[in-house]
Structure 1
């Protein structure tokens, strides 16, 4: 029996859940935590049929309440049964979910909500308190739904919505066009201000097919996704979801013991996690000499995964397990991917010698090109200059999951998007890359974080791979002090523990020697010790180099 959804029955991505419910009604769709006693975590489960029926009930209730076709709806529920059911219910009702990572911070979150201007707000009690106290979407929000007690916050409860939806049992699946807006997903803001990416139903459908084919995901697998939005693909892929017990906004702080317990209990085969989570998990496994028996595939995205983290994770799995590190962005995902088995010693040597980070070959049917770096906007692909193999430039991509615009950000859209003669949209990734002669893409750093001395241009991720091998370093960051075109390259470092004056001088000397040993770093003659880099909350690895550059400039003037 075929158990992988396709779009023949309609492009609304919520149809995937109903499709699975008809074909495998009794199969478990989700295992979710529900308290526990004496240190034993209690999990409940929900079948595909039960989840589909619950989402139908919520969809009818939401429509009766006024949340229907085209209604932009901020969704702030904790991962669990209601998160899944309500998300699919919004699609079924034709509404447009607005997803914002709460890990970006209160101030950016307020700005995102003001920009999205949602008419409806569905969230836990805590989120509604924040909405009221901090004035989130005050001018636009009219329809409020609270998951939990209202405490005088107004609107309806999720229980009320469910009761409204139980008044009848008609099938509800709003008919959409593939080009209809499906959701607004905000970027993390790790490398700039968060922007709302407009997703259409065809983008979600394309992602489902590309993920399935790229990673050979099979129906019946059991998935533990530690990033909630990624979990929403599981029903379309025929997988059972296990909701982990953790704060998804702080993956580095996840309890590895609880994660492993869930993997063992439910025989998890697929794990999705950020590099920060894999770092925490793999360290624990290596220290405790644990091998996770059931896991056959690990997928990590969101930031570059250090080689040392990949190697530790490999030690934590059995030999036939594979680790994939796809490259992409909220605006276009996935773009390319590489597996750990492809990272042989020769390739690792290239990475550590400053060639960049290999992110694999483009995922079909994506088309990836490298264009000459420019801070100008291009309307048409022909206005950009394509770079030859082996030469660095900006990465641009076209493909079925490539989005066309940002919500209410015309200037940002103009800077990031181009079209070609066939009408295809090309997205400028904002990343510097190199395409090698074997069709593999190498990531070198962010375009906006390049260091331009007027004589040479340095790309941070290439340079930092050279210095990060030093045993006393936690990490390094190459930034430019001064104005672009006349910048002084500065190596900022974060060291392990407290160094003595003698060791400080030794590390300083070692790094300057390393810089002179490689052609791409020879202009670096300044090393600054930093107490702790400013990094993004979620990944704990995306360095805020713009802030470091300001700090370095002040340090040099002082």
Structure 2
């Protein structure tokens, strides 16, 4: 099935229902399902008129907004492959991605078209479209308005490519993740069951790919006015005002973005009674944040979702499912409870050999390697929407395991399954500290530290032959506080605590610790940081 068919079904069954509420330009723009489907049909006609055919790759540089999803509706309907590259990674990264998968067309904002001046790979793209006011040498995308709506939809098999995104490539050649129509459909079904959205819901989200699933489910999606390139600096009060004004029932976002909303409510003494669901993921979601969310949204089901680019979702847990023993175990260093794996995903724990390829294994060998409950190791997953490989096999040897006819994906995360079948996370395998005392995983000390309300972020790192816990605090680092934290995480496990003004985080969510940058920061700040 072509994924665009799900949007057309919503247009036929609920033509006047609101599909998108777009505040990204500072004013409200509402688009109904029938309108969005028609715009996609007209856009498909324009793409066909300019010579594009099913299977062609179109590189898209466009921010979150109505125009992006109208264009995606056209691209999917035509059977084209939408290719997304982060321009913030620089012109060399763009060039490497275009070499790995040469685009036939470019669809971009006028500002993004300026990259053509410094990027020969973009100038070589045969067909160029420009949104907004247009750009020299580019076809105005607004011409779709004068095109007749296309009645044709490209037939797609489950293996037909639909979307391509790239890793950062900071350690070498970027890897291209290819999501087929079949993978997107299975992912939508899993998200639909996990999130439980209905046509009565209005979702505020900052997760662009999730919007496709929401449109397929018939839920209205609010695209907020927020700087997605810096979710850690979100205007919390402004976001809360948008949620209240437009009667949002469901909030989705990274832990950092959700924290910004909660902080705004706490500072103003506000409650969000209209929220019925809050979902957070993309980085560790600690129970302390979930408790604070529950306090400002008392009617909401608060859920932490665990997943990866190659497999989303993997597991989920509701705040009300956590009992006192779970909280105690997390504070005692057992890791972070991610919940039960979703039914569509198989999870196994293998010995931690991150950095060393497994190659192919027989089913018997794989079962023999699988670790029993309670034993930590490397988390591997398989399932209908788990990406089984990267484009041209780039990166497959390091991250995939072939077991008979099944491909297992190595998440790069460490963890274990408990005797109830629940998944516990221990952090990134590459961030573990291995020394004469043994192996120490990040979340076994970061989770206990995050139990203190003064701790904004915590990170385990090896530095100068010692195990250090780096902290970013709300407020001054009093000796009493640092001693309490050190006692909680275990003085026999951590040598020192260092307090830094800010811990480095990932660009996408501003929530995951960048351990490599942290090590460099510790070297630069070791004379000024405050050790315990």
| TM-score normalised over the length of structure 1 | 0.86
Query: What corresponds to 1:21 in structure 2?
Result: 11
Q: Determine if the alignment matches structure 1 residue 544 to structure 2 residue 496.
A: no
Q: Determine if the alignment matches structure 1 residue 137 to structure 2 residue 121.
A: yes
* d(CA) in 2 for partners of 1:464, 1:46: 43
**Superposition deviation, residue 336 in structure 1:** 0.7
Query: What corresponds to 1:491 in structure 2?
Result: 469
Per-residue deviation, residues 142-190 of structure 1 (Å, max 9, x unmatched): 22111122342x1211113443xx1x44402111111111111234679
Query: What corresponds to 2:373 in structure 1?
Result: 389
Given candidates 84, 87, 105, the residue that maps to 1:99 is 84
Given candidates 230, 238, 244, the residue that maps to 2:218 is 238
Given candidates 502, 506, 512, the residue that maps to 1:532 is 502
* d(CA) in 2 for partners of 1:534, 1:473: 15
Query: What corresponds to 1:32 in structure 2?
Result: 22
Q: Structure 1 pair 514/294, CA: closer, same or farther in 2 (3 Å)?
A: closer
Q: Structure 1 pair 104/21, CA: closer, same or farther in 2 (3 Å)?
A: same
* d(CA) in 2 for partners of 1:271, 1:513: 36
* d(CA) in 1 for partners of 2:220, 2:415: 36
Q: Is the 8 A contact 1:118 1:137 kept in 2?
A: no
Q: Structure 1 pair 92/309, CA: closer, same or farther in 2 (3 Å)?
A: same
SS in 2 for 1:541: coil
* d(CA) in 2 for partners of 1:254, 1:515: 31
Query: What corresponds to 2:438 in structure 1?
Result: 456
Query: What corresponds to 1:225 in structure 2?
Result: 205
Q: Determine if the alignment matches structure 1 residue 341 to structure 2 residue 320.
A: yes
Query: What corresponds to 2:180 in structure 1?
Result: 200
Per-residue deviation, residues 178-215 of structure 1 (Å, max 9, x unmatched): 11111112346799986321111111010111111223
Q: Structure 1 pair 160/185, CA: closer, same or farther in 2 (3 Å)?
A: same
Where does the alignment leave 5 or more consecutive residues of structure 1 unmatched? 1-10, 36-40
SS in 2 for 1:178: coil
SS in 1 for 2:456: strand
| TM-score normalised over the length of structure 2 | 0.90
Q: Structure 1 pair 278/89, CA: closer, same or farther in 2 (3 Å)?
A: same
* d(CA) in 2 for partners of 1:531, 1:193: 33
Given candidates 109, 130, 147, the residue that maps to 2:131 is 147
SS in 2 for 1:271: strand
* d(CA) in 2 for partners of 1:80, 1:296: 25
* d(CA) in 2 for partners of 1:313, 1:188: 32
Given candidates 30, 36, 46, the residue that maps to 1:61 is 46
**Superposition deviation, residue 497 in structure 1:** 5.1
Q: How many residues align?
A: 523
* d(CA) in 2 for partners of 1:342, 1:186: 35
Q: Is the 8 A contact 1:451 1:459 kept in 2?
A: yes
**Superposition deviation, residue 409 in structure 1:** 4.8
Where does the alignment leave 5 or more consecutive residues of structure 2 unmatched? none
SS in 2 for 1:25: coil
**Superposition deviation, residue 110 in structure 1:** 5.5
SS in 2 for 1:21: helix
User: What are the residue-to-residue correspondences of 1:41-440 with 2, within 5 Å?
Assistant: 42-101=27-86, 108=93, 111-129=96-114, 131-135=115-119, 137-138=121-122, 140-152=124-136, 154-163=137-146, 166=147, 168-187=148-167, 195-319=175-299, 321-374=300-353, 375-382=355-362, 383-384=365-366, 385-410=369-394, 412-421=395-404, 423-440=405-422
When the two chains are superposed, the root-mean-square deviation of aligned CA atoms in Å is 2.7
**Superposition deviation, residue 71 in structure 1:** 1.5
**Superposition deviation, residue 510 in structure 1:** 5.0
SS in 2 for 1:261: helix
